[in-house]
Structure formats: structure tokens, C-alpha cells
Structure 1
Amino acid sequence: MTPTEMDSRIVRYGDLQPCKTAFIDAHTPGSDQKENFTIIGGGVSESPDQHVHIGIPHGFNIGAAGQPPRVTNSLHDHHTAEAFFVLSGKWRFFWGRWGDAGEVTLEEGDIINIPTGIFRGFENIGTDYGMIMAILGGDDAGGGVMWAPQVIENAAEHGLILGENGKLYDTKRQQKLPEGVAPMPLMSDEELAKRPEPTTADVLPNHVARYWDLMALADKKPAKVIGENGILRDKPGFEVDFITRGSATEAKHSHKYPSVLMPMRGHWKVTWDGGSSTIAPGDTMSVPENLAHSAVPSMTGEASLYHIVATGDPAGLTWKG
């Protein structure tokens, strides 16, 4: 693969195109300043305004959320796995029917594999604009988003209606539901009662890994963060590894599925049969299946990188109860 061809599979942080109308809470006070990014895959946006940077199927989706301080992403759920690592800032993740079942604070480099089957949200509690990077299981990203009933009700009060077709209609723009399309129904009390309400103790430590722990664990060899034999043991349809300067190697390797490299700290030189390129924190690089490649830090100082690859397993549920 030529450098030009590979460049089309690299999304630079500075080139990310945000969408501020991606989801139903785009007008809701407290959530109306968030930005959503679809980096790899179709994503789960409910708006036609969302830009897809790389549409090639990988077996998972890569996205991101950028939020100013004290801006919240509303309570929602997916049918498949949703994992985040914090690229910048300080974030509070919370979950449950009303968002009060449990919570955890994550800082830069920390990663959370959020259990499915429960509503979850997150808030930037830092002092500056922050960014979290997301991995969603499956090529169809779980078939969309399921919102807590109060999120849909609050959105309607501010002009946004979600159709049962999964698309948003903005009454402030004189939009209305098309003929034959009903509003998205609210979950029934019976459906809501079936959803678990795990406490913080239930979720920790099986779904959260801390950056500095990973730095120590990956000092000599890459650490398996999410996977059947990972620190966060799961089979969500993808695996996540963590690599540091000490565990990086110039020996090339390949995968039978596309893989993704996402630096957390430092600049990384990626070499493949046909060329090389350097990626930095916030960049996302897609490596084609069966392409031999390596990644090593190209500068001195702290260096860490998240590596994601599909496994071919069904993008199934993660909550074990």
C-alpha cells in the first residue's frame, strides 16, 4: 500500500469534523454544546449532518465526543459494547434509570468498557474542553441508540422529536414527522424494570482500567485490556491492547481483520510494507487486514497507544450481572 493510499486511512485530530446536531439532546440545556465525531464506520448519529471520516467496515466503529466543562451526554444505551478512553480532560461516567445507580471518575488515558443493558451518560467535569474516544461493537454500531424516557420527553420540550425510523425532526426548523412515521415510543415500565441497576462496586474493577496501571502492565509486553483474556474480560467483537515504549517493537505483524491505532501519548512511527507515517495523540489510523506493519515511538518522552482489532465474534452484550 502506497503512502498516499494509507493517508486516506488516517484521520488527524486537527481534521476531525464535529456534528452538534447528532442526537436527540442537541437542544437540551446542559447537553446542547457537545460535539460528536464519527471517525470509522457508520456511527449511530440520528442526524444527516454527521460526517463519516472513514466508512470502511472494521467489525466495530470508532467515534469521539468533545465537550466543554459541565456539558453532559444524556442517558442512553446500545445493543452492543461501548468502550471509551479519555484523550483529554476529566470525566464523570454515571449510569442507571435516572443516572444515580453508580458513577466513576476517569482521567486522561483511563478506559471504561461500559456494560450494556443499562442507561449511561457522561459529563466533562474538568476545567477545559475535553475529548473521549469511543469504540462501538459491530459494523452497524448496535442498531442505534436507546434513550432513557425522560431524555426523549425533555428533547420534545426543546423542539426535537425522534421518529421511530431513528431520525431526528427539528420543529424549530419547521420539520415534522413524515406521514406514516410515528414518534419513537418510550420504553414501558415493564421494560425499564428489567434493566439492572449496578452499583459502582459492581462495575469496578471489572469494567475500568486506569492509565498508570496499564503503563506498568505494558512495560515489557503489550497489555490485553479488553478481550476474552483481557484485564477487562469480555468478548464484544473486538479486542483492545495497550502499548508503551517498552513494549513496542519494530517487528512487523498483521491481522486478518482491519485494525486501528490510536496514540494516547507521544508520536508514533508506523511502518508498513510500502511506506511509513507518523501519528500523534488524537489521530486515528486504520490498518488494512493482512498488511504487515509495526508501530514504535518516534520521539523521546512518554509514549502510549491503544490498538483495536476485530475478532469476528458477534458484537454481543457485555453486562454479566
Structure 2
Amino acid sequence: MNKQTLIDSWNEYVAPSQALSPEEMAKRVARWGGIPASPRAFVDTYVKGHERTLYSVIGSGVTDDPNFRPSIAAAENFHVDYIVAPKGCGAAMHWHDSEEVFVVQAGRWELDWIDGATGKTHTITLGPRDTISVPPFVHRAFRSLDGDDPVTGGMLVSVLGGKTPGRVMWDAALAEKAKAVGAGFGPDGMAAQAQNT
């Protein structure tokens, strides 16, 4: 290409910025000490081995806790959460109706998934800054291999696609374990555990 064509091409690639005041931008900042956290964000957290804390950073994402709100409410087609779990703990097998990306922030994590064509479960180990993208409707589970300190142990970042992600769908094996400890869903679809368990 000649020089003038390249110079002229800029006419189609320059545009002004949308208005955004410092006050509006401040609503879009999540500071670590102020990010809402829930140890009961999902029904599987009532089952031993699935303990973890979910930090809701951007967007409503998906949760079974009706009082859990994100630090940054505005989300345009994605949701971000931090996940911190004790060593050996993490999410049970589940799927979402949208893509989910995991980025290891600290520690090592294992991610399992079920191949629906064969019924086989596969495992992959991820280290710091490794990233994996799990397609919609594929059962996945994950667990921390290094403990629950978000700096020296394990922290996983979850980015869930979609403007309004649907509910989490769980593997039947989790349903049986949750029933055994009296955990299920109330009329509002939120997780609960019977008081007498």
C-alpha cells in the first residue's frame, strides 16, 4: 500500500470518547477489601469437599444466595468472580448455558469435565496465569491444590459470558450428596439447608 492510502485510512478509525465522569468511573472500581464475599454462594457448598468463598466482582453472574450482590453491578455481557478454596475443595460438577473462562490467579487448580459423548471424566491441572475456556452445557468441576490464601495459596478468576446467565445445572451425583445433608432449593430457587441437619 502506498503511504497516502495508509494515512487516509485513519479517517475511519478515529472517534471521540463517550462521557464518563470520575463519579461514574468510581462505581466501576472493585477494591479487594470491599468485594462482597459469600461462603454459601452455591448449593454445593453445603457438601463436604466443596467449601469455597466466592467474591462477586462484576455483574450478577449466577448464585444461589439471594443476598449476594456484586461490587460492580454494571456488566455488559460478562460477569467476573474470584474463587478462593481450601486445599482439595472447589465446585462440584455443574454447567452453565454460557461459556465460562477460568484464569488461575494464584496456586494450582485442577479442572474436571465430563465428555457427554463418552461419559468419561477428564482432568487438567492449571498453574498461575493459565487460562481455560469451558463451553456451555459441559459439566465442569474445579478444586484448589494449594490452599485458601489468595496470595500464597489459590485464587481462581471466573469470567462467565452472557448478559443474564441462567441458573447453574448440577450433576446428579451432587444432588444425592446435597439431599443427604438436607440441602436443596427454596421456592425462590435459592439454596438452603434444613435447620435440623
TM-score, with structure 1 as normaliser: 0.50
Question: Residues 90 and 37 (structure 1 numbering): CA distance in 2 closer, same or farther, change over 3 Å?
Answer: same
Q: 1:149 aligns with which of 161, 172, 196?
A: 172
Partner secondary structure for residue 151 of structure 1: helix
Contact 1:95–1:121 (CA under 8 A) maintained in structure 2 = yes
Partner secondary structure for residue 5 of structure 1: helix
Structure 1 stretches lacking a partner, 5+ long: 175-321
Q: 1:95 aligns with which of 113, 120, 144?
A: 113
Structure 2 stretches lacking a partner, 5+ long: 1-19
**The structure with more strand, counted as a fraction of residues:** 1
Q: 2:30 aligns with which of 11, 32, 42?
A: 11
- Cα deviation, 1:246-294, whole Å, max 9, x if unaligned, reads xxxxxxxxxxxxxxxxxxxxxxxxxxxxxxxxxxxxxxxxxxxxxxxxx
**Structure 1 match to 2:90:** 72
Q: 1:115 aligns with which of 113, 120, 135?
A: 135
**Structure 2 match to 1:275:** none
Q: Over aligned residues, Cα RMSD in angstroms?
A: 2.3
Residue 63 (str. 1) matches residue 87 (str. 2): no
**Structure 1 match to 2:159:** 135
Question: Residues 35 and 97 (structure 1 numbering): CA distance in 2 closer, same or farther, change over 3 Å?
Answer: farther
**Structure 1 match to 2:16:** none
- Cα deviation, 1:190-223, whole Å, max 9, x if unaligned, reads xxxxxxxxxxxxxxxxxxxxxxxxxxxxxxxxxx
The whole-number CA distance in structure 1 between the counterparts of 2:187 and 2:98 is: 20
The whole-number CA distance in structure 1 between the counterparts of 2:64 and 2:183 is: 11
The whole-number CA distance in structure 2 between the counterparts of 1:64 and 1:173 is: 31
Structure 1 stretches (4+) deviating beyond 6 angstroms? none
**Structure 1 match to 2:5:** none
- Cα deviation, 1:30-72, whole Å, max 9, x if unaligned, reads 113x011222111110111313212223111112211121112
Partner secondary structure for residue 72 of structure 1: coil
Structure 2: which amino acid aligns with 1:123? R
- Higher RCO (C-alpha under 8 Å, 6+ residues apart): 2
Cα shift at 1:164? 7.3
Task: Report the identity percentage.
Answer: 28
- Cα deviation, 1:79-101, whole Å, max 9, x if unaligned, reads 11000101111100011179952
Aligned residues: 172
